[in-house]
Structure 1
């Protein structure tokens, strides 16, 4: 979970170290408070969008297909991440934490659990699509319900283990100058663990396991998919992979700037940058972090309105809820039974 002030502005609970140079973070805090007003909108929009996806899956689909199982878990992880935003919004607007030590750890853990699991589920969806397109003749032997459930269990386990350092480092402590309670990664030493090594391991874990590794896997999978589609000229399969490709591309467009800023910040920690340089980094982190949030807010739009199948389902829901729209909206009925039968012959299309 991001901080409301930079990491050089705090008092330490154990008084082991002297405070370093103090720089004013009023401008960064003000920018963060102004941007945080959109968190509530993003939370509500995500709640509606992801909730709509869940309703559509429940109403029209069977949770026996690999794609739907993975998609359901992705929606859950997105909702989990977005549930932390109202707390972060209040925190940034007040510039101090009011929810207590326990909620500080819970919100920080949920934030990273939602982020990490979303990255891995996106990667898993892409790899699964790669199997169904590139190895379509043999993929059905591997792509079954057991494979999907086991994959999801592994993703949640890895994501949960990756959150342990954040649960340790995230805590409430007192700001040196303002005497306000903050909730974020503790900037000083901890008595029971080497905090510096834990921070470094957390950063590189996030960089390699949750950014570079997914990026390499996704690029490889889509190169193979593109070669297969071009060589076979199968238009329907091209339409199938299009939606996931857009979602994944959007994810990395939104998250890569923040990780680049974090990487620069980590590399320059020993250079004693000036206050002006620290302020610039603080502004960059605020802006790139908020851009990253946009992904979790608008991804339901692609699930619901870009995919042709979801468009049809959404129109059916509208007509059922508002019968007067039937004369203005064309609806093609797709029964759950027919869809279930087709899914045994090929993977469910997302678009």
Structure 2
């Protein structure tokens, strides 16, 4: 799970003992992070809410792809709900909401983080089926099937993180896990790293690599050069690179610092501040997906424009183009990686 509630802790007993050494030291770094946390939170909530509204109002989850995107945006948006609690702990250097709230926030934090990653992974497989051989996989790509898969992903996320989240406690003044031993914490980190990063990253990379190879093979087998096919391949390649790179950049530093915390000694303040930065980076992941939609998806860009620029009844000259677009239109195949 995302153990970001420990954001400025190094997850070992040494840090807990030394943490209060600088608890009253509110400097430029603390003020900067206090500003960045709400900015990330507001951007994440606004962006993902816009995606949810766009799907419900303009698409109504009419395809498997938009079902996965809806659940991804919902998980990303709910992931932001825990950020104010984490920011408060980081700024005040103590947890002020009680032990029950600590456990609840960690459970919800973990569910939404894992569901977000799992939904993006499911989307990579869905995109491969949609572009590689749509007729063969048509019965697996219905909205009903996607809703069943999404429900399973939410349940699997809960079962995955619940045992670990319940180990969190605020008894020592910080919402941190009750450390049994270094070996126990290493096993927890290894488990979450494998389930929350290695497995999804591997599936996404394999699915997108197979998709790109399939598209290239289809283009090369074509009797005559097809400029549209070549354009599709280039756009899909850009989307694939963007999705995989952003995912790796946002989450790999977080897991790396978690493992380093087992062997960190000295420079507690420096390590804690660096860790706080990578925690914020991991939360920024939830802001990245709506931006990817807006930048890389013509369909979602039109949906966003329709929602944000409604028809101005009093001034026809100020009216926006609010025509409806079908997210499954064959003319939109260039956006089917993310939309």
Task: Identify whether the pair has TM-score above 0.5, normalized to the shorter chain.
Answer: yes
Counterpart among 270, 287, 294 of residue 297 in structure 1: 287
Q: Deviations over 1:157-201 (max 9, x none)?
A: 221112113322211113xxxxxx2222223x4xxxxx6565333
- Report 1:271-282 matches (<5 A): 274-276=265-267, 278-282=268-272
* Aligned residue in 2 for 1:211: 197
Give the CA deviation at 1:309. Answer: 0.9
* CA deviation after TM superposition for structure 1 residue 323, in Å: 5.3
Deviations 1:285-327 (A, max 9, x none): 2222222222212321222343111122222234425457864
- Contact conserved, 1:46 with 1:79, CA < 8 A, in 2? yes
Q: Residue 259 and residue 162 in structure 1: after superposition, are their counterparts in 2 closer, same or farther (change >3 A)?
A: same
TM-score normalized by the length of structure 1: 0.79
The count of corresponding residues between Structure 1 and Structure 2 is 320
The aligned residue for residue 173 of structure 1 is: 171
1:2 equivalent to 2:14? Answer no
Q: Take 1:159 and 1:80, find their aligned partners in 2: how far apart are those partners?
A: 14
For each residue in 1:223-261, what CA deviation from the matched residue of structure 2 results, as whole angstroms up to 9, or x when unmatched? 111111222232475346754652342121111122122
Q: Relative to 1, partners in 2 of residues 1:205 and 1:32: Cα closer, same or farther, differing over 3 Å?
A: farther
Q: Secondary structure at the match of 2:174?
A: strand
The runs of at least 4 consecutive aligned structure 1 residues that moved more than 6 Å come to: 345-348
Partner of 1:146: 144
Aligned equivalent of 1:311:
301
Deviations 1:117-156 (A, max 9, x none): 1111111111111111222230112212332122112211
Q: Which residue of 1 aligns with 2:72?
A: 74
**Aligned mates of 2:122, 2:306 — CA distance in 1:** 30
Residue of structure 2 in register with 1:262 after alignment: 258
Distance 1:102 1:77 in 2: 22
**How far apart, CA to CA, are the structure 1 residues paired with 2:74 and 2:273?**
31
Unaligned runs of 5+ in 2: 220-228
Partner SS state of residue 324, structure 2: coil
Q: Could you tell me which residue of structure 2 aligns to residue 183 of structure 1?
A: 175
Question: Is the 8 Å Cα contact of residues 67 and 347 (structure 1) preserved in structure 2?
Answer: no
TM-score (normalised: structure 2): 0.82
